[in-house]
Every structure is written in C-alpha cells, then in structure tokens.
Amino acid sequence: MTDTPAETDVAIIGAGPAGLFAAFQCAMLRLKCVLIDVLPEVGGQCAALYPEKPIYDIPACPAVEGAQLIARLEEQIAPFNIPRLLKHRAESLEGHRGNFTLGTNQGTMLKAKAIIIAAGAGAFGPNRPPLEGLEAFEDTGAVQYYVRRKADFAGRRIVIAGGGDSALDWALSLKDNAEKLYLVHRRDRFRGAPESLRQLDEAVAAGQIEKVVPYQLHALRGQNGALEGVEVADLDGATRMLEADVLLPFFGLATDLGPVARWGMDTMRATIPVTPSSCETSLPGVFAVGDVATYPGKLKLILQGFSEAAMAAHAIYPIVNPDQALHFEYSTSKGVPA
C-alpha cells in the first residue's frame, strides 16, 4: 500500500462496500483517491457486524458472506494500490468544489478536489440494554453485539434478545452450534421475512430454539464478568432465570452522522439528500453514496450503493479534469488501466 499523499483528486469517507466500489470506479477513470475510515479495517458494517452472515442481493452471487464480499472488493481494487487512512474520523472540511481541505481526528490534513461520503449508517454503535453491571460482562465477551465467528459459540448456552431481522437470523444461524438457545422478545411476534418466520416455527417445534415471550431483559447474573444466567421479566414483573454463557442483544444500531453533519450540507434524519443523477449533495463538490444517501425512490441495497458510486465518480471527473471530455468506454473494452 502506498503512503498517504497530502493531495488527491477524491477523498472517500467510508471503506464499506460502497466506498470500496467508489474507489474502484474512480481508479477506472484515472482519478486519484484516498479511502478514509474510523474503523481499523476496511469493510464497514459488513466486516464489523456480520462477516459470516450471508447476503443474497449481490448480482451473480446467490449468497455471499459479508467478509467474502469485502475480500472480493479488495481484490478488485488491489491493482490500483489505493492509499487509505484507517482509524481516522473525518472531522473538518474547508474550501470549495475543486479545492477542499479535509481534516481528521488524527491531525491529518488532506487536500482533495471532491469528496465522496460513503459512511453507511454514519458513526454506528449498538443500542445497549440498560442492565446493571453490563460493562463487566461486555469486557469478558459474555455480552456481545456482533457475531464475527459462529464457531466461537459452539456448545454454549446462548440468549438472543430482540424481535427484528438480526435477532431472528442469528437465532436460526446459531441454533445448530449452541448447547441451548433462547430467543427473548417482549411479544410473540417477530419482524422478519416469511421464510425466516417459517424456519423459526420449525426450529421451535424441533426444540432447537426456545422462545421466551413476552419477556424483556431484567438482570445479568454472574461474577467477575463470567455470565451464569440472564434474568428476564414479563409484562407483570414476574421473573425467570435463563442459564446462559453469553447474551447477544440485537436492539438495532444507534447511528449518527457525526462531524459530517456540521459541514453545511442538507441532512435528514442521519441521512444526506442528494441529486439522484449525480449523487451530489447540497454542498457543491461533496457527494454521498450508499445507505447514507437519500432521494425519492431510494432502496437501501448494497447494489444500489454500487450504482451510486459509479454515478458519483463520473460526475466528479469534470471537476478534476475541467478541460477534458470524458469519452466513456465499457470496462470490457478498455480493461483495468495500467
């Protein structure tokens, strides 16, 4: 990997799927770019939240795990040796279209002619349950919010809490590994795809999953961060103890645009409105792609983020090369630039 330059054509904030593909599209147009991400590795939510969870809506891939998708995107940009600033949060932005100065929390200052924000859900973190002594159990891994390796949960007594897709999907995914698996929700109704709900009913009938409804998390029992049980309470306050080694609470993500929201562009509920044809924000020269971008008819699919990355790169080309016309060629015709 090359050293990070002091100047570049495009600064790409966010190294998840949309950011990685934006880097590829820029490189195919011979636009220099730098990837910036607050996480210590590329991949965004795919790497941090569900590396082993299958994704079904990537064209030509019937199913691909999050980590596999990131690995293929990394392979795609490898020939371009694109610099990256990891563990860097984009903090400040000054200047104007064609001449920006971007500052990070590490004190790095980067000059760029255009900016692509591919920050996914923004600065994200789990919604943590309000349980006494939670931190001690988090420190030992007895309470976890992400499943990075399914093998780590083999033979363990698992409590999964939540009623959405993540809770449902991981319950189905871990049921064959666990010694015992409880699924806790405040009502006997789960939000998921019809096929997932059917599979849940089958797993419950087979004794692979025990539904604990209508209950909510009440307390954690154990010593020195070693979990012995999860106490749950029903709507009347009656409690029940579930013997467990690990708790996986899936209550969604708390998202925040962070410093980006103070850069002077229009925002809307932790998203950034863009012009659909170019993905340019209300701040000229700043573009947004992927989940962070919004416009009428927007679909929050990774494949849509890929399309937006291509549109943004092509819209940026005349900013970087104002005196050159872009004669578009298919990649099948021109290949990867040498």
* 101 has binding-site annotation: no
| 104 annotated binding-site participant | no
> Residue-wise over 11-46: b if at least 16 C-beta within 10 A, else e?
bbbbbbbbbbbbbbbbbbbebbbbbbbbbeebbbbb
Ligand-binding annotation for 165, yes or no, is: no
| Pairing relationship of beta strands 157-161 and 180-184 according to DSSP bridges | parallel
Residue with tokens 């994200």: 124
Q: Are strands 33-37 and 90-96 parallel, antiparallel or unpaired?
A: unpaired
121 is in an annotated binding site: no
**Residue listed under structure tokens 């009502």:** 187
Q: Is 145 annotated as a binding residue?
A: no
* Burial of 3 from C-beta contacts in 10 A (0-12 / 13-18 / 19+): exposed
Helices (H), 175-217: 194-205
Exposed / middle / buried, residue 224 (Cβ in 10 Å: 0-12, 13-18, 19+)? exposed
266 carries a ligand binding annotation: no
Instruction: For residue 50, say whether it is annotated as part of any ligand binding site.
Output: yes
Binding site, annotated residues for FAD: 37, 45, 50, 90, 124, 291, 332
Binding site, annotated residues: 37, 45, 50, 90, 124, 291, 332
